[in-house]
Amino acid sequence: MEDTDAGTEGHALTEHRGRPRRRNAVIEVFRGLKLHRKPFFYVFAALWLFGLASMFIFPAPVPITEQALANYEAKLDEAARYSKQHADSTQAWYDALQELRDAKTWFWRFRAEPRQMVLDKKAKERGAYAVVREHDRHLESLISAAKAELGLWSELGVSEGRQLFWKSFQAGKVFGRRQTIWDTAFNLLSSNQADRNLLTAFVQLICTAIVNFTAGMLSSVFIFIFQLPWLLMSYQASLPSMIAFFALATLGCISVICSYLLGLYLAGATAIYATVSLTGQSRRLEAGLGSRAYLERPHAE
C-alpha cells in the first residue's frame, strides 16, 4: 500500500512539473494592447489626473478680497430683507390655493353659484401665483448679483460646483443601491431555488450591482452636466469664463466617475475570481480526499 501511495504521489508531482505555468489572462491582455507605446494613453492619463486634482486638490484660482466680501454681504442682506416680502406673498398664494380647494364642493360644475365662486377663487389664486413668481425672479436676481461680486472662480463658486457634483454623485449611488436591492429580491423570488447554488447567486449579485451602479454613475454625470449651466449663469460671468469652468468641471466629474467605476470593476472581478478559485480548490480537495480514502480502503486479495 505504501509503495502504491508513493508511486501515485511521484506520478502527480511529475505531471505538475511538466505542466506549463498558466499566465494571468488580464495581464496578457494589457501586455498585448501595449498602451505604454501609444501617445493617447499618456494624454488620457494626464487629463484623468488633472481632473482628479481639480476636484480634490486645486484651490480656487481667484482670491476673495475684503471689498468683494463686503459687497457680497451687503447684497445678501438686501436679499434677506426682501425674502420677508417673498414669504408673505408665498403665504398669500397658499391661502388662495386653499380657498380654491374649499370652494370645490360636490357637483360644483353643475351649479351656477358654486361654479362662479370657483372661477373667482381660481382667478385670485392665479394672481397670487403670478406675484410669487415675480418675487422669485427678483430674489434670484438679488442672490445672483451677490454671487457676481465674488466671481465664478472664487472659493464660493468652486465649492458650489463641487457640492453640485457630489449631490449628483450621491444620487447615482442611491439609485444603484436601491436598484440592486430590488433586482436581487426579484431574482430570489422568481428563480428556481433547486437550480441555484451559493456561487451562482453570489456572482449574479455582483454582476447586478456592477450594472446598476454603472447606470447610476452615468446618470449622475448627465444630471451634473444638465444642472451646471444654471449654476454658471447665476454668477453672471462672461461667456469664455463659463465655457472654461464648464469644461473643467465636466473633466473633473468624468475623472471621478471613471475612477469610481474602475475600482468597482476591479473589486467585483477580484471577488468573483477569489470565490471561484476557493470553490474549485475545495472541490479538488474533496475529490482528492475521496480518492485517497478509496485507495486506503482494504481490498480483498
Render the chain in DSSP notation, one character per residue.
Answer: -HHHHHHHHHHHHHHHHHSPPPPPHHHHHHHHHTGGG-HHHHHHHHHHHHHHHHHHT---SSPPPHHHHHHHHHHHHHHHHHHHHHHHHHHHHHHHHHHHHHH--TTGGGSHHHHHHHHHHHHHHHHHHHHHHHHHHHHHHHHHHHHHHH-TTSHHHHHHHHHHHHHHHHHHHHHHHHHHHHHHHHHHHHS-GGG--HHHHHHHHHHHHHHHHHHHHHHHHHHHHHHHHHHHHHTT--HHHHHHHHHHHHHHHHHHHHHHHHHHHHHHHHHHHHHHHHHHHHHHHHHHHHHHHHHHS----
**The residue to which cell 453672471 is assigned:** 236
54: Cβ contacts below 8 Å, ≥ 6 apart? 248, 249, 251, 252, 255
Least confident interval from 191-195, 201-205, 268-272, 275-279: 191-195
Confidence band for 91, pLDDT divided at 50, 70 and 90: very high
Domain match, 99 and 209 both: no
- The string of pLDDT tens digits covering residues 166-211 is 999 999 999 999 999 998 888 877 766 555 677 777 888 899 999 9
> What does DSSP assign to residue 61?
S
| Cβ-contact 135, 93 below 8 angstroms | no
Domain match, 255 and 193 both: yes
Which of these three, 83, 116, 150, is where a domain ends?
150
| Cβ-contact 55, 165 below 8 angstroms | yes
In a domain, 239, yes or no: yes
CA distance 67 to 80: 20
Domain match, 161 and 269 both: yes
C-alpha cell belonging to residue 224: 451634473
* CA distances to 2, 170, 299 from 294, in Å: 14, 58, 10
Domain match, 36 and 164 both: yes
Which amino acid appears at position 132 of this protein? Answer: V
In a domain, 170, yes or no: yes
CA distance 45 to 239: 29
Which of these three, 94, 119, 150, is where a domain ends?
150
Domain match, 69 and 160 both: no
In a domain, 14, yes or no: no
In a domain, 7, yes or no: no
Q: Residue length, the chain?
A: 301
Domain match, 36 and 178 both: yes
Least confident interval from 5-14, 108-117, 236-245: 5-14
44: Cβ contacts below 8 Å, ≥ 6 apart? none
Domain match, 49 and 85 both: no
- The string of pLDDT tens digits covering residues 235-263 is 999 999 999 999 999 999 999 999 999 99
**The residue to which cell 501617445 is assigned:** 39
264: pLDDT strictly greater than 90: yes
Domain match, 88 and 172 both: no
In a domain, 17, yes or no: no
Domain match, 121 and 186 both: no
In a domain, 2, yes or no: no
Domain match, 47 and 181 both: yes
Domain match, 42 and 141 both: no
Which of these three, 150, 175, 209, is where a domain ends?
150
In a domain, 284, yes or no: yes
The domain of 182 spans: 26-61+152-301
| Structural domain count of the chain | 2
In a domain, 8, yes or no: no
Domain match, 100 and 192 both: no
